[in-house]
Amino acid sequence: MHESPTYRDRDRYSPIFVLCHAHAFSSISIAILGSHPELYWFPELRLFNAHSLGEAQDTFGGPRDTFGEALDPGGELQDVPIGETERLRMSGAVRSVAELIFGGQSQESVDLAWSWVRENRDMSTAEFFDRLLEKVSPKIGIEKSPDTSASEAHLMLCNDSYPRARFVHLVRHPVTATESLQKKMVEAFAVAGIVDRSPAELYRRSSRVWYTVNHRIVRFCESLDESRVLRLRAEDLLNHPQDTARRFCEWAQVDSRDGSIVQMMHPEESPFARPGPAHAPGGEHDQFLQNPSIRPVPPPEPVKIPWHWELNSNERRGVLELAAQLGYRE
């Protein structure tokens, strides 16, 4: 089942990548966009923080635990260790292999997908995505992984791998995004047994995430031809889904008639809009997987940075200036 490396044509496919930080309403947003009949929505594949599938697995692997069984290359059923972190963070890639190569997302097909991924450790992440894009062709693949925007190197690898790719910069209001990121950070520190971080420190960290990632994406997009980039406010997509979806369709040069727009309003129909089997349960945000329906969110208010975040004057000015550039004003 091992795939031999081959020459790849970087210009063969022109997928769409959604760039954003975590907690940007990104799971429901990509599900809406990817429900267009000419597109195929992939769960988070986490492709571009590694050069090969093996590197991806090694990067994501955490403490090793045994999570059930998988088929080995010889066809014998045996216990195969799947780390808890690896199990969750590789879920999107494994579920995609199960769905597109092994015909569904049963526990058996997911186990086969794990074996396939491990047997193809030397396959580059771009070759891997090519295999998935080939399976869904002629549909256009659309994918979102916040990891892609975590560094300039990841963004450059993405663009180098797919020079004809297009990019949606998905943004969220700096205050609501920071509050959501801070809540998640509190939970993460608590799980790690770290309880001596003040709320203000975590707000500052979360605000830096919002600023740093969005600033990095802006710089990256400015280096591209403007026709390859679309900026969307998540609040617009969720509060005015049909109008915003139509704007996306016109940019992506896909059908923007009512029938296609109506189909985009039903992201729950995707095979990835629900939890996967135990060995690959994730791939998107947990709350989305439990309830993948479109729900309005509070409309963006004028940007007023709370004083209890304790940002210094330069940090406040930086957030306000970038927020205005992204369509959120004081």
pLDDT computed for residue 74 by the predictor: 31
Quickly tell me which residue has 């892609």 as its tokens. 148
Say how many C-beta atoms besides its own lie within 10 A of residue 75's C-beta. 7
The helix/strand/coil state of 112 is: helix
- How far is Cα 308 from Cα 74, in angstroms, rounded to an integer? 59
* β-strand pairing of 229-233 with 39-41: unpaired
- How far is Cα 278 from Cα 276, in angstroms, rounded to an integer? 7
Q: Are 227 and 164 in contact (CB under 8 A)?
A: no
* β-strand pairing of 140-144 with 166-171: unpaired
Q: Is the dihedral of CA 105, 255, 168, 56 positive or negative?
A: positive
pLDDT computed for residue 190 by the predictor: 81
Q: How many CA atoms lie within 13 A of 324 on its CB side?
A: 8
Q: Which amino acid is at 160?
A: D
The candidate with the shortest Cα–Cα distance to 130, out of 162, 99, 92, 103, is: 162
- How far is Cα 146 from Cα 271, in angstroms, rounded to an integer? 21
11-42+144-261+299-330: what fold?
Answer: Rossmann fold (3.40.50)
CATH 3.40.50.300 residue ranges of the chain are 11-42+144-261+299-330
Quickly tell me which residue has 């990067």 as its tokens. 59
In tens digits, what is the pLDDT along the chain, a chain of 330 residues?
555 456 789 999 999 999 999 999 999 999 999 999 999 999 999 989 899 999 888 875 332 222 222 222 233 323 334 445 555 688 999 999 999 999 999 999 999 999 999 999 999 999 999 999 999 999 999 999 999 999 999 999 999 999 999 999 999 999 999 999 999 888 887 877 887 889 999 999 999 999 999 999 999 999 999 999 999 999 999 999 999 999 999 999 999 999 999 999 999 999 999 999 988 988 898 889 999 999 999 999 999 999 999 999 999 999 999 999 999 998
- Considering the entire predicted model, what is its pTM? 0.90
- How far is Cα 287 from Cα 279, in angstroms, rounded to an integer? 19
